[in-house]
């Protein structure tokens, strides 16, 4: 084993000198070289950029992958340079369970067929979600992580070197002040010139890196725009899919409603007539929007709460709803009873 004693002693001496200098600075017995105000502002912006980029990265990953165990697993796979597992999303698991339940209840029954249909849509939403997660990872997560692991790590390394150079410079200044002999002063002056030159050179390197953070911010802004666009596309796709499903279920519900021949030749009973024979009113929350298809029906808006009569003597698939002074028939499938 090649052991350089001189190098070891030199490094130990430097470390001891820095420790003494830091101790004297804390005690107020030694001066400290201060950086100019512009440099200090660059350092503050660097610290803020590092802290907030780490927070944004952590929170974005938590939103995209809520399960902490999965995030740790993905991190380990990245470290060992292996492909992360292709997991199903929660929506896809829900869709599989719905389709299985629908087959158990009977694919020809109204509830079973609806479960299968909704399960297929949930799987489609899960696929859309996975594509969205991949897009955000590519456009936003990876650039932020690359910045922290590359440029920011280099900045922190050069800042650490600069701090050491600053301590060495102040130690040389302190040594010159304490020198008593002419030879000691000359030697201290030479060391001071060397330390000053190294400090100035390192300060310039660090300054250039710190000023480059502005370019990183501009790059991160573009990444943010791409993430917003991916999120907007994802929600638009989900809205289109679910609106289509709601319409399909509503049409299927209308198709299952019995339509006796006698009702075709006679006018529909008025809502007032239908509700006159029942007083079993209750509350229900509307699950999604519903547009009335006839004058005797009531249009609904998602999440609103209406009064309903549980049993409609004319049609078991419908109930009578009331909102203020408005009354009309509404499909049961669009309502959730509130106890």
Report the CATH number at residue 293.
2.30.30.40
- Whole-number pLDDT of residue 89: 82
Q: How far is CA 32 from CA 167, 178, 189, 337, in A?
A: 8, 16, 18, 73
Residue 29 lies in a domain: yes
Among 219, 249, 279, which residue terminates a domain?
Answer: 249
Same domain, 202 and 162: yes
CA–CA gap between residue 71 and residue 276 (Å, rounded): 59
Overall average pLDDT of the 200-223 stretch: 96
Asked whether the predicted pLDDT for residue 92 surpasses 90, the reply is no
Same domain, 232 and 318: no
pLDDT tens-digit series, residues 64-86: 887 777 666 766 666 677 766 67
In the three-class reduction of DSSP (H, G, I as helix; E, B as strand; rest coil), residue 218 is classed as helix
Asked whether the predicted pLDDT for residue 291 surpasses 90, the reply is no
Same domain, 166 and 311: no
- Whole-number pLDDT of residue 298: 87
Same domain, 293 and 165: no
pLDDT band at 5 (very low <50, low <70, confident <90, very high): low
Overall average pLDDT of the 295-319 stretch: 76
Whether 298 and 321 have beta carbons less than 8 Å apart is answered as yes
- Sheet architecture: strand order including 281-286: 326-331, 318-323, 305-309, 281-286, 335-338
Residue 258 lies in a domain: no
Average predicted confidence (pLDDT) for the chain:
82
Contacts 24+ apart (CB under 8 A), 274-280: 274/309, 274/312, 274/313, 274/314, 274/320, 274/329, 275/309, 275/320, 275/322, 275/327, 277/313, 278/309, 278/310, 278/311, 278/313, 278/320, 280/309, 280/310, 280/311
Which is nearest to 25 in space by CA: 209, 198, 163? 163
Same domain, 192 and 326: no
Percentage above 90 pLDDT, the chain = 42
Residue 239 lies in a domain: yes
Among 221, 249, 277, which residue terminates a domain?
Answer: 249
- Whole-number pLDDT of residue 271: 42
Asked whether the predicted pLDDT for residue 296 surpasses 70, the reply is yes
Residue 11 lies in a domain: no
CA–CA gap between residue 134 and residue 46 (Å, rounded): 29
Higher-confidence position of 285 and 280: 285
Residue 12 lies in a domain: no
pTM above 0.85, yes or no: no
Residue 289 lies in a domain: yes
- Whole-number pLDDT of residue 234: 94
In the three-class reduction of DSSP (H, G, I as helix; E, B as strand; rest coil), residue 323 is classed as strand
Residue 71 lies in a domain: yes
Same domain, 214 and 276: no
Same domain, 130 and 180: yes
Among 216, 249, 282, which residue terminates a domain?
Answer: 249
Asked whether the predicted pLDDT for residue 294 surpasses 60, the reply is yes
- Judged by average pLDDT, the poorest of 46-60, 115-129, 311-325 is 311-325
Same domain, 177 and 104: yes
- Whole-number pLDDT of residue 285: 86
CA–CA gap between residue 332 and residue 316 (Å, rounded): 9
Same domain, 181 and 312: no
Higher-confidence position of 73 and 152: 152
Same domain, 128 and 216: yes
Residue 50 lies in a domain: yes
pLDDT tens-digit series, residues 222-267: 999 999 999 999 999 999 999 999 988 888 776 554 444 333 344 4
- Whole-number pLDDT of residue 318: 81
pLDDT band at 9 (very low <50, low <70, confident <90, very high): low
CA–CA gap between residue 217 and residue 53 (Å, rounded): 10
Same domain, 31 and 164: yes
Number of independent structural domains in the chain: 2
Higher-confidence position of 7 and 34: 34
Same domain, 167 and 77: yes
For residue 298, what are the domain limits?
Answer: 267-338
Q: What is the CATH number of the domain that holds 55?
A: 1.20.1270.60
- Whole-number pLDDT of residue 85: 67
């Amino acid at each position: 084993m090649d052991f350089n004693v001189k190098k070891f002693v030199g490094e130990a001496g430097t470390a001891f000198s820095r420790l003494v200098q830091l101790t004297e600075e804390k005690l107020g017995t030694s001066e400290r070289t201060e950086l100019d105000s512009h440099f200090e502002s660059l350092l503050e912006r660097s610290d803020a950029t590092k802290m907030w980029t780490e927070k944004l990265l952590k929170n974005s990953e938590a939103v995209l992958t809520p399960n902490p165990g999965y995030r740790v697993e993905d991190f380990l796979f990245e470290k060992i340079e292996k492909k992360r597992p292709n997991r199903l999303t929660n929506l896809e698991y829900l869709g599989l369970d719905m389709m299985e339940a629908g087959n158990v209840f009977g694919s020809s029954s109204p509830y079973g067929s609806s479960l299968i249909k909704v399960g297929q849509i949930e799987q489609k939403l899960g696929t859309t979600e996975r594509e969205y997660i991949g897009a955000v990872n590519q456009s936003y997560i990876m650039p932020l992580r690359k910045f922290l692991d590359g440029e920011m790590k280099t900045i922190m390394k050069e800042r650490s070197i600069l701090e050491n150079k600053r301590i060495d410079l102040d130690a040389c200044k302190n040594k010159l002040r304490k020198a008593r002999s002419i030879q000691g002063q000359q030697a201290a002056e030479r060391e001071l010139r060397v330390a000053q030159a190294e400090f100035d050179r390192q300060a310039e390197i660090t300054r250039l890196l710190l000023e480059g953070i502005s370019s990183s911010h501009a790059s991160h802004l573009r990444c943010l725009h791409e993430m917003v666009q991916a999120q907007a596309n994802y929600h638009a796709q989900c809205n289109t899919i679910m609106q289509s499903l709601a319409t399909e279920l509503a049409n299927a519900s209308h198709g299952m409603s019995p339509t006796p021949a006698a009702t075709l030749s006679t006018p529909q009973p008025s809502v007032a007539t239908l509700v006159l024979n029942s007083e079993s009113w209750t509350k229900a929350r509307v699950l999604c929007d519903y547009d009335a298809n006839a004058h005797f029906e009531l249009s609904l808006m998602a999440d609103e709460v209406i009064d309903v009569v549980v049993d409609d003597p004319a049609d078991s698939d419908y109930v009578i709803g009331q909102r203020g002074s408005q009354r009309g028939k509404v499909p049961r499938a669009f309502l959730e009873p509130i106890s």
